[in-house]
Amino acid sequence: MSLKSVMESCISDSSSIPEFYLRYFNWMVQVISVRCNRTLPESRINHILRVWDGHPITSDHKNLMSFSIANSEMLVSPATELLSIPWCYGFDILLFGEWISRAAKLKSGSIVILKNLHFFLSKHSITPILVLHEGCLYGRGIVEVHPKAVEGHCRYLKLMNDTQRVLAENNRSHEESDTTAVSLQEDLAISTECREDVNQIHFDWDEEEELSDERLAALTDSFFGRTTTHHLQANDK
């Protein structure tokens, strides 16, 4: 099967995954990371491929399982630009057999097609999981997609647009938060400087100054306007 045919067999995006509950499907995604961990100290080591396509996990995904990042060893660490992806956008794929070593050779940020991915539910669990079983039955595999080979293809363009949109929105949100934080810090600094300036001002009022009538009239005029002064003068007359 040609690469173009494989791409056209992929689901449009992760929002379509619920339609394949307990079934198999092909999916084009961007790699975030590959890690291994244990859910319990004596349990088997799980190898997890974490991917995304710019769409979040929702309630429609039937509580799809995400593995804890605690007690994990990174085999492929997330690229810098992917570190800020909200957790709900990442999908964990449980790997078996040769796909463990295959995934460990991938780079974070690379585009791959996961073929014959299983939306699986164990008899002993109520939480479904995405699984790439061992072996190549039914064309199962991880196909790395080189951008130049698929440039202009609608599936590839959609994936890039969807992921870049989320990254741009997330970066903009962080920038706004940073700007707000800087503004608050500047306001605090200005406020502190003002307090320090006030504290440094020395008022030499050890003796009470007796103000003349002219001075009082001038002060009254400055604070309340000439109309008030004229009114006071008229009353004096």
- Check residues 3 and 201 and name the one with the higher pLDDT: 3
Angle between helices 226-236 and 213-224 (to 10 degrees): 140
The pLDDT of residue 26: 98
Local structure of residue 43 (DSSP, 8 states): S
Rounded distance, CA 167 to CA 188, Å? 31
Query: Cβ distance 44 to 67 under 8 Å?
Result: no
Q: What is the mean pLDDT of the chain?
A: 81
What was the pLDDT predicted at 223? Answer: 35
Asked whether the beta carbons of 13 and 55 are under 8 A apart, the reply is yes
Query: What are the tens digits of pLDDT across the range 20-78?
Result: 999 999 999 999 999 998 777 777 899 999 999 999 999 999 999 998 888 899 999 99
- Predicted pLDDT at 185: 55
User: Residue 10: CB partners within 8 Å, gap ≥ 6?
Assistant: 25, 26, 27, 28, 113, 155
pLDDT given at position 171: 87
Q: How many CA atoms lie within 13 A of 1 on its CB side?
A: 14
Pairwise CA distance, residues 17 & 4, whole Å:
21
Phi-psi region of 101 (alpha: psi -120 to 50; beta: other; left: phi over 0): alpha
Do residues 127 and 97 touch, judged by C-beta distance below 8 A? no
Backbone angles phi, psi at 141, to 5 degrees: 170, 180
Q: Which residues pair with 51 in a beta bridge?
A: 31, 91
- Diameter of the chain measured on Cα atoms: 112
On the question of pLDDT at 140 being above 60, the answer is: yes
What local confidence, expressed as pLDDT, does residue 196 receive?
45
Q: What pLDDT digit, counting tens, does each position of 175-233 carry?
A: 766 554 445 555 555 444 444 443 443 333 344 434 445 534 433 433 334 433 444 34
pLDDT confidence band for 172 (50 / 70 / 90): confident
Alpha-carbon gap, residue 131 to 121, rounded angstroms: 10
Q: Residue 1: its pLDDT value, please?
A: 77
| pTM for the structure as a whole | 0.73
Residues 6+ away with beta carbon under 8 Å from 86: 56, 166, 170
Please indicate whether residue 224 or residue 137 has the higher confidence score (pLDDT).
137
DSSP three-state, residue 79: coil
